[in-house]
Chains A and B, each alone.
Chain A
Amino acid sequence: DAMVIQNPRYQVTQFGKPVTLSCSQTLNHNVMYWYQQKSSQAPKLLFHYYDKDFNNEADTPDNFQSRRPNTSFCFLDIRSPGLGDAAMYLCATSREGAGDDYEQYFGPGTRLTVT
């Protein structure tokens, strides 16, 4: 019954080695988001897709990229991970609309460790 799925749940990568995190959804929502959450901090929005329209937050480093090949899947690529990129990465989806449609549905997250 999982609606927003993130794989893997735990990812270890080496300093500077590219890594890709994946997210899929069964909700057919048109908006997908990637957040970075460091320990004891608020989730911070990196970017979101409205359908195929990519929207980058102004302070998201160039090191972070995203791809959305279809409605169901969205990927987060970290081109050269640094130690400061170790965090929990949360994927979320929402459906454009009114009222409850504004709810963002979150996946369980991928915890990234950089060694």
Chain B
Amino acid sequence: GEDVEQSLFLSVREGDSSVINCTYTDSSSTYLYWYKQEPGAGLQLLTYIFSNMDMKQDQRLTVLLNKKDKHLSLRIADTQTGDSAIYFCAESEGGYQKVTFGTGTKLQVIP
């Protein structure tokens, strides 16, 4: 079955860049997502990338995809304390198909 793996924890200083990494196993993945979950809240889609792209930039967020290695990363430039949250990598084959989530990376931003 599909598997999505992430490191559990990342700590950065305010103003630095954060890079959160993810690997997945499903070669049929069409959409790769990054979701953010703040304490006590649901998941919020930050950005997504199609599998035929290798990079997507959206303001402070940069997503890099290495399809050959099935490796996805999320870079947050100028990390702020408000970025502290759990970040979930996820993949799906598209449409309303099942989305498989990673275990989440807890990002701690130190002022």
- B interface footprint on A32-46 (CB within 8 Å = 1, 0 otherwise): 000000001111110
Residues of A within 8 A of B102 (CB): 42
Contact A41 B42 (CB under 8 A): no
Known: A42-B88, A94-B96. A104 touches B45 (CB 8 A): yes
Which residues of chain B (36-51) have a CB below 8 Å from chain A? 40-45, 48
Known: A42-B88, A42-B102. A106 touches B42 (CB 8 A): yes
Contact A42 B4 (CB under 8 A): yes
Q: CB of A102 within 8 A of chain B?
A: yes
Which listed residue, B41, B92, B101, touches A43 by the CB 8 Å rule?
B101
B98 nearest CB neighbor, chain A only: A45
**How many of B's residues come within 8 Å of A, CB to CB?**
23
Known: A42-B4, A42-B101, A43-B101. A90 touches B42 (CB 8 A): yes
Contact B104 A42 (CB under 8 A): yes
**How many of A's residues come within 8 Å of B, CB to CB?**
23
A50 nearest CB neighbor, chain B only: B96
A42 nearest CB neighbor, chain B only: B101
Number of A-B contacts (CB under 8 A): 54
- A interface footprint on B28-40 (CB within 8 Å = 1, 0 otherwise): 0001000100001
Contact B103 A102 (CB under 8 A): no
Q: CB of B95 within 8 A of chain A?
A: yes
Min CB distance B63 to A, Å, is 15
Q: CB of A108 within 8 A of chain B?
A: yes
How far is it, in angstroms, between the C-alpha of A108 and the C-alpha of B43 when the chains are bound? Answer: 8
Contact B95 A96 (CB under 8 A): yes
Which listed residue, A4, A40, A50, A94, touches B42 by the CB 8 Å rule?
A4
Contact B43 A90 (CB under 8 A): yes
Q: CB of B15 within 8 A of chain A?
A: no
Q: CB of A81 within 8 A of chain B?
A: no
Residues of B within 8 A of A50 (CB): 96
Q: Chain A residues in contact with chain B, CB under 8 A?
A: 4, 31, 40-45, 48, 50, 57, 90, 92, 94, 96, 102-109
Which 7 residue pairs are nearest across A and B when measured between Cβ atoms?
Answer: A106-B42, A42-B101, A106-B43, A31-B96, A108-B42, A42-B103, A103-B45
